[in-house]
Amino acid sequence: DTAVSQTPKYLVTQMGNDKSIKCEQNLGHDTMYWYKQDSKKFLKIMFSYNNKELIINETVPNRFSPKSPDKAHLNLHINSLELGDSAVYFCASSQPGHDYEQYFGPGTRLTVT
Amino acid sequence: DAKTTQPTSMDCAEGRAANLPCNHSTISGNEYVYWYRQIHSQGPQYIIHGLKNNETNEMASLIITEDRKSSTLILPHATLRDTAVYYCIVRASNNAGNMLTFGGGTRLMVKP
């Protein structure tokens, strides 16, 4: 059974478009995250979210916005895509009291042309 | 969060112990040491964490020096499937948002 899943696995789109990446976790976790891994393989936190608060990494452009329809889902919306947004995006989740152990999804490779 | 320093890459023979060092000389008293790994084309995977005592689980052992300025992750019997990038992360337990900050990591290559 997949614990943290993401769709799509690959996404190719043109500059200026708006796109979304979906994330679902079936672990019953309360907190979910989005990370970005660039071409140099550096993995950076973008957002941390639970039903109480959203923590945003200050370096993330406001073109990126997480949206959570329910506790099991945290989708990532990206407006006006730019070439520099090309990266692999990972979703993760954790449970209260065990936030050191984050479960990651398989990643979504976004290519902006 | 304290900064960590790891070797860029290491090799290990299959079946031997892999010892991955991490320097965190500016670690604070409330900061834990976490280890994650990322196998090629997969998401990161939690391995182990500790504060000041040595820790062991089914995946690895974590040895933290008495002054807590460095630590070593030990994979006792490395297999080819342990080839991955290993990340040492230092983070306070009350870190806002529970965010992890990944550095460059160590690329471990396990060879037959």
Q: Specify the DSSP class assigned to residue B25.
A: T
Q: For residue A57, give the chain B residue with the closest CA.
A: B99
d(CA A22, CA A11): 12
Q: For residue B94, give the chain A residue with the closest CA.
A: A99
What integer is the mean pLDDT of A81-108? 92
Contacts of A109 in chain B (CB under 8 A): none
Q: Is the pLDDT of residue A19 over 80?
A: yes
Q: Label residue B44 exposed, middle or buried (CB < 10 Å: 0-12, 13-18, 19+).
A: buried
Q: Which residue has the tokens 């290491």?
A: B10
Q: Per-residue b/e over A5-20, b at no fewer than 16 CB within 10 Å?
A: ebeeeebebeeeeebe
Q: What's the pLDDT at A40?
A: 82
Q: For B41-68, how does the pLDDT look when each residue is reduced to its tens digit (9 = 90+)?
A: 999 999 999 999 899 999 999 999 999 9
The half-sphere exposure of B11 on its side-chain side, counting CA atoms within 13 A, is: 3
Mean pLDDT computed over every residue of chain A: 92
Contacts of B85 in chain A (CB under 8 A): 41
pLDDT range class, residue A27, cuts 50, 70, 90: very high
Q: What's the pLDDT at B96?
A: 66
Nearest to A31 among B41, B98, B101 (CB): B98
A4 and B43: CB-CB below 8 Å?
yes
Q: What's the pLDDT at B2?
A: 62
**Number of H-type helices and E-type strands within chain A:** 0, 11
pLDDT range class, residue A39, cuts 50, 70, 90: confident
Contacts of B49 in chain A (CB under 8 A): 100-101
Higher pLDDT, B104 or A10: A10
Q: For B79-112, how does the pLDDT look when each residue is reduced to its tens digit (9 = 90+)?
A: 999 999 999 999 887 666 677 888 889 999 999 9
Q: What's the pLDDT at A1?
A: 62
Q: What's the pLDDT at B51?
A: 94
Q: What's the pLDDT at A98?
A: 81
Report whether the peptide linkage leading into residue A61 is cis, meaning its omega lies within 30 degrees of zero. no
A43 and B96: CB-CB below 8 Å?
no
Q: According to the 3-state scheme, what is the secondary structure of B45-96?
A: EEEEEECCCCEECCCCEEEECCCCCEEEEEECCCCHHHCEEEEEEEEECCCH
Q: How many beta-carbon contacts under 8 Å exist across A and B?
A: 56
Q: Chain B residues within 8 A (CB-CB) of chain A?
A: 32, 34, 38, 41-46, 49, 85, 87, 91, 96-102, 104
Higher pLDDT, A30 or B19: B19
Contacts 24+ apart (CB under 8 A), B76-80: B76/B17, B77/B15, B77/B16, B77/B17, B78/B12, B78/B13, B78/B14, B78/B15, B78/B16, B78/B17, B78/B18, B78/B108, B78/B110, B79/B14, B79/B15, B79/B110, B80/B14, B80/B110, B80/B112
A55 and B97: CB-CB below 8 Å?
yes
